[in-house]
Structure 1
Amino acid sequence: MNDSALITTGLPIALTIIMFGLGLSLTTDDFRRVSRTPKAVAVALLLQVLVLPAAAFGLVKGFDLAPLLAVGVMLLAASPGGTTANLFSHLFRGDVALNITLTAINSVLAALTIPIITNLAIDHFDAQGDLGLQLGKVVQVIAIVLIPVTVGMAVRRRSADFAARADRPVRIFSIAVLVIVSAGALLGEREHLADYMQQVGLVTGIFCLVSLTVGYGGARLLRLDQRQAIATSMEVGIHNTTVALTIALSVLDNTEVAIPIAVYSVLMYVLATAFGYAITQRHADAEKSLNQTTE
């Protein structure tokens, strides 16, 4: 699968279209909004950029994952949130404006955090071969993550109508690419799939729940309101796995690195839905109890 033109050429092109579509949903005001909710943005970014990679590192060390699988989990931890996080936030009545702001900022930060965290992981776990993100590969990451977003934003500024019309097709395309690539990554390693699932299934499931819990719990601990906490939880807990898969398969050219990401991309939908329902139900029960007490 690593040598396939579909992966080496088609996947970066697909991701470019997806990131362009993300840019079509953003405006410069999404970046300016930071000044209006600085605490919420700072808390979410602190959790995502620092706490989450630390949690992922603790998990892969605790489960003693094979080096390439460990790198895959760290790459997943470094990948940003995305439009799926915005969708889940909307579904569970989070602060979607905060999600959009965080998505905008994370799209920029990811161009730096992904190479840094991934290279540190490759070095620490002594992953085999020339797997590292050297300068040329770092430039490639920046090109496929940052440039299409910027172009998409510029197009939206010139034609908001086109941006609105393109939103639904790009979202459908994004889901289709994720499904195809995840299935391809798993099938490409089908001989070792049972062993990999045993090794990374539990780790990626725990990582997803830890990410969601850290996002929500950290936000509440630092006194953000319920809607902001839900938004933070979804932004921190739901990663843009298409970005991570593209880097694993086409930039690092390694299917084994992609396995934890592919497994996570399946689990996150189930776990995020269950988690979102649990926290909103709990909040509703707490409000109901409070209202009964004050009556």
Structure 2
Amino acid sequence: MDSALTTIGLPVALGIIMFGLGLDLTVNDFKRVGRHPRAAVIALVCQLLLLPAICFGLVVALDLSPLLGIGLMLLAASPGGTTAALFSHLYRGDVALNITLTAVNSLIAILTLPLITGFAIAWYDRQDDVTMPLGEVLNVFALILVPVGLGMLVRAKKPGFAQRMDKPVRIASAIILVVLILGVIAAERAHIGDYLAQIGVAAALFCAISLAVGYFVPKSLGVPGPQAISSSMEIGVHNSTLAIFVAVEVLDNTEISVPAAVYSIIMFVFAAAWGSFVSRRESAPQVQVDATV
């Protein structure tokens, strides 16, 4: 799909979104992982190990076609999206934890994303027509780290400007994501009905399971409610823009980007409904205590 959307639009989109993430970050956000390791470690284990395993199980159980299966695994390997913190804020999660997890996982993904996606390519025996060149992967993450670093620099030097730009950049990121989804759908419009039939159920199941795992696993291990909500949003709301970018620019296959585009639509609906449920669930005991006082 060699067009202005991919050659110019995708890099610019990713750069803007990553710059916006950087505006929310300080060096202390990375140090926070060390100060509050329990919730962060549990969330990272879920996101880096448990989630790809669950995704692979869905891919095999639902017998997805090779390119769509690779695309869903690519999405599972992608770090949390920038909107995870927004959902966390809306539903009383620990936003600082989201920011830290997104930053740390984005760095770890430099290694894990090509490993997990490469495993999927090898599983389907598609090395001849789909490759995961390390050089291109490093270029992608250079495109991520540079704007994030610039955003952090702006935050450090001009905190007032960074605060004013937070909302406009979030809005721009959402608009950009919508445009990218529409671009993928337009490019694959002749096959989109078949893709939805093949990947819609898998994407919905993966999104629902991701949100549930991100909440219930930390809760079962003693993580407080706000941090469990943050973990849920971080694990359920993936960086679909990155997945689309890698599919189109690195793997050079638009069909592989379809799962990320479909998931993007589903995750906003599911995350909103799930956030409403878990926030009510967390506040219910407090309501009962107040009623007895």
Please name the residue that 2:201 is paired with. Answer: 202
* Partners of 1:231 and 1:276 in 2: CA distance: 10
Structure-2 separation of matches of 1:54 and 1:98 = 24
What's the secondary structure of 2:125's corresponding residue? coil
Looking at structure 1, the residues matched to 16 and 130 of structure 2 have their Cα atoms a distance apart, in angstroms, of 26
Alignment of 1:87-236 (within 5 A): 87-127=86-126, 129-236=128-235
What is the deviation of 1:228?
Answer: 0.8
Q: Which moved more, 1:177-186 or 1:104-113?
A: 104-113
Pick closer, same or farther for the CA change 1:223–1:13 going to 2, 3 Å: same
Contact 1:209 1:271 in 2 (8 A): yes
Indicate the larger mover: 41-50 or 149-158: 149-158
Distance 1:149 1:132 in 2: 27
Query: 2:51 is aligned with what amino acid?
Result: L
**Contact 2:22–2:151 (CA under 8 A) maintained in structure 1:** yes
Question: Structure 2-normalised TM-score?
Answer: 0.95
| Separation in structure 1 between the aligned mates of residue 222 and residue 158 of structure 2, nearest angstrom | 39
SS at match of 1:191: coil
Task: Please tell me whether the aligned partners of residues 8 and 249 of structure 1 are also in contact (alpha carbons under 8 angstroms).
Answer: no
| Superimposed CA distance per residue, residues 170-217 of structure 1 (whole angstroms, 9 cap, x where no aligned partner) | 212211111011111112111111111011001000100100000001
Q: Check conservation: 2:39, 2:227, Cα contact below 8 A.
A: yes
Q: How does 1:197-276 map to 2 (within 5 A)?
A: 197-276=196-275
Aligned to 2:6: 7
- SS of the residue aligned with 1:81? coil
1:226 Cα shift? 0.7
Runs of 4+ in 1 over 6 A off after TM superposition: none
Where structure 2 has 5 or more consecutive residues not aligned to the other structure, the ranges are: none
Could you tell me whether the CA contact under 8 Å between 2:5 and 2:183 is conserved in 1? no
Asked whether the 8 Å contact 2:82–2:102 carries over to 1, the reply is yes
Instruction: Report the residue type matching 2:60 in the other structure.
Output: K
Distance 2:153 2:63 in 1: 45
Cα drift, residue 76 of structure 1:
0.6
Structure 1 residues 167 and 291, CA, compared in 2 at 3 Å: closer, same or farther? Answer: closer
Kept in 2, the 8 Å contact 1:12–1:250? The answer is: no
Q: Which moved more, 1:195-204 or 1:282-291?
A: 282-291
Deviations along 1:234-270, one digit per CA (max 9) or x if unpaired, are: 1111111111111112222211101111000000011
> CA 1:129–1:180 in 2, change beyond 3 Å: closer, same or farther?
farther
In the alignment, the residues of structure 1 paired with residue 4 and residue 43 of structure 2 have an alpha-carbon distance, to the nearest angstrom, of 37
Q: TM-score, normalised by structure 1?
A: 0.94
Greater shift in the superposed pair: 3-12 or 271-280: 3-12
Identity of matched residues, % = 53
TM alignment of 1:60-79, pairs within 5 A: 60-79=59-78
Deviation at 1:287, TM superposition (A): 4.1
CA distance 1:131–1:147, shift in 2 (3 Å): farther
CA distance in 2, matches of 1:146, 1:118: 20
Hey, what's the Cα distance between the residues in 2 that align with 1:8 and 1:133? 18
Please list every run of 5 or more consecutive structure 1 residues that lacks an aligned counterpart in the other structure: none
Q: CA deviation at 1:143?
A: 1.3
SS in structure 1 opposite 2:130? coil
Q: Cα RMSD between the aligned structures?
A: 1.6
Aligned length: 293
Alignment correspondent of 1:47: 46
Q: 2: CA distance between counterparts of 1:278 and 1:195?
A: 32
